[in-house]
């Protein structure tokens, strides 16, 4: 809780043959291991959701990886900080970096919308092109 990791990959300990730990006599009961893991994962789930919510409204550079597991109409990709983002798009985007505005935070991923490369900005008379995007700390500035 103090560190507030973005995400966590956690598992119950299981002894590995040939390791010193496998020879320990004081084993933690399976029920206790599961309870501890559940508590840890529930705390982390809330932290991850809070951190994802902080990204709502921001535009992030996303590397498109392929079709989303969520919908056949969506593609999925990752930000530079390894956040999964799902958004409407074609498979021709795979392998490309695209600006995506984060519209919704979920516990394990983000939803977003591609920012058009030619968009009219508020108080800006001209449209911007790809070359007008500036990236600072993986956030796109327009």
Q: How many domains does the chain have?
A: 2
pLDDT of residue 126: 37
| CATH number of the domain to which 121 belongs | 2.40.50.140
Nearest CA-CA partner of 53 in 29, 83, 80: 83
Per-residue pLDDT of the chain (142 residues; tens, 9 = 90+): 899 988 889 998 888 888 887 888 878 899 999 999 999 999 999 999 999 999 999 999 999 999 999 899 999 999 999 999 999 999 999 999 999 999 999 999 999 999 986 453 443 333 333 334 455 555 555 5
Q: What range defines the domain where residue 108 resides? A: 59-141
Question: What torsion do the CA atoms of 121, 91, 107, 112 make, to the nearest 10 degrees?
Answer: 10
Q: Are residues 76 and 36 in the same domain?
A: no
Residue 90 Rama label (left phi>0; alpha psi -120 to 50; beta): beta
> What does the angle CA 41 – CA 42 – CA 44 come to, to the nearest 5 degrees?
65
Q: Do both 48 and 76 map to the same domain? A: no
Output DSSP code: residue 94: T
* Shared-domain flag, residues 47 and 63: no
Cα–Cα separations (whole angstroms), residue 46 to 39, 53, 71, 99: 11, 11, 25, 27
Residue 37 and residue 95 in one domain? no
Q: In the block, which residue shows the tokens 């043959």?
A: 17
Question: pTM to 2 decimals?
Answer: 0.73
Last residue of a domain, one of 54, 71, 94: 54
- Please report the pLDDT score of residue 136 as a whole number: 54
- Among 54, 79, 97, where does a domain finish? 54
CB of 114 closer than 8 Å to CB of 88: yes
- Tell whether 63 and 127 lie within a shared domain: yes
Task: Return the number of other C-beta atoms located less than 10 Å from residue 83's C-beta.
Answer: 22
- Placement of tokens 């291991």 in the chain: 33
- What was the pLDDT predicted at 141? 57
Q: Are residues 9 and 49 in the same domain?
A: yes
- Residue 50 and residue 66 share a domain: no
Q: Are residues 14 and 84 in the same domain?
A: no
- pLDDT at res. 19: 87
Q: Are both 73 and 101 inside the same structural domain?
A: yes
pLDDT at 128: 37
Cα Rg for the chain, rounded, in angstroms?
A: 21
67 and 137, same domain (yes or no): yes
Residue 29 and residue 80 share a domain: no
* pLDDT at residue 13 in the model: 81
Q: Which pLDDT score, from 0 to 100, does residue 84 have?
A: 97
**What are the CA-CA distances from residue 109 to residues 48, 68, 85 (Å)?**
9, 11, 6
User: What pLDDT, on the 0 to 100 scale, is given for residue 98?
Assistant: 95
Same structural domain, 129 and 64: yes
DSSP 8-state assignment for residue 95: T
């Amino acid at each position: 809780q103090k560190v507030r990791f973005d995400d966590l990959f956690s598992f119950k300990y299981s002894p590995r043959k040939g390791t010193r730990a496998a020879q320990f006599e004081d084993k933690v009961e399976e029920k206790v291991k599961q309870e501890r893991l559940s508590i840890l994962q529930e705390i982390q789930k809330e932290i991850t959701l809070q951190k994802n919510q902080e990204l709502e409204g921001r535009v992030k550079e996303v590397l498109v990886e392929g079709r989303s597991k969520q919908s056949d109409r969506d593609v999925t990709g990752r930000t530079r900080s390894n956040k999964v983002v799902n958004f409407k798009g074609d498979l021709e985007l795979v392998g490309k970096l695209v600006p995506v505005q984060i519209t919704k935070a979920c516990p394990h991923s983000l939803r977003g919308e591609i920012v058009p490369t030619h968009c009219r900005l508020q108080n800006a008379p001209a449209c911007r092109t790809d070359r007008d995007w500036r990236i600072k700390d993986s956030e796109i500035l327009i």
